[in-house]
Structure 1
Amino acid sequence: MLVTREPTRREIPDEEGQWIDICKLSLSQMKAARKAATIDSASIAKAFGPELVKALKDDDSGSKKLKKLNRALQYEENQFDTEVLLTAGIVEWSYNADWSEAPICDLLDERTGIWIKNEIIDLNRPPSEEEEKNS
């Protein structure tokens, strides 16, 4: 599917009259958001040590479980960098603030930023096998 920057409006919960327009992201934008999150996660993985990774790779069932887990987690919130997603995915908003002046995450509280991040992820998530069967 060709990606257009056709906006989708979402009403911001608990903020009457406030809205945000978000759009689908391109493959390269999603990849950049994943890469930025992976770089942040690399230091966490180092804490587990090479023994865990080696054990999972050496065990066939562990490798299969790892692949299955990876597919399941592909669109989880922690797989994407918030700043990258919000910068690429927000087209417009009703707030009286220009996000070109400062990093977008500096302008939002955590709750709203995470909510917007999840809305962008959901908009970009491909349909599940079951959803495709029902359509």
Structure 2
Amino acid sequence: MVLLRWFLRILPFAYMVAVWIMSSMPSDAIVELPQLSVDRFIKESLHLVEFAILYWLLVMAMLTTGKFSPTVSLICALIAGSYGIIDEIHQSFVPYRSATIIDAVKDWIGVAVSWYIIRGAIFQGKFSRIGSMLKKI
């Protein structure tokens, strides 16, 4: 159980490194779908998910400490969203990549939706299945 806790605590940082590495590559370096419009749509949609995942990983890491609160949840959301902005700035210096405000907005929307779900699941009794699963961490 101790190993799992430490794994969950390290996972957000490993994910951040993976995001940074992938952002350092051209957008088609890992996957390129045959139809350009579908490829672009999926990759643009991933902005809604990418930093929401980071938020969830940060939440799970904090849940392992037993000190998770609404304030800690908000701090996790701010870290995840801010890392999205840092990633956009980073991409602006990478050849063949672009950085746009709309991408940063999509990053923050994904984080905000996830923050709403976590807040409801853990602190307000909504989304009971998610809440009970997270409380077991």
With the length of structure 2 as denominator, give the TM-score of the two structures.
0.24
Q: Which has the higher strand share?
A: 1
Specify the structure having the higher radius of gyration (Cα).
1
Structure with higher helix content: 2
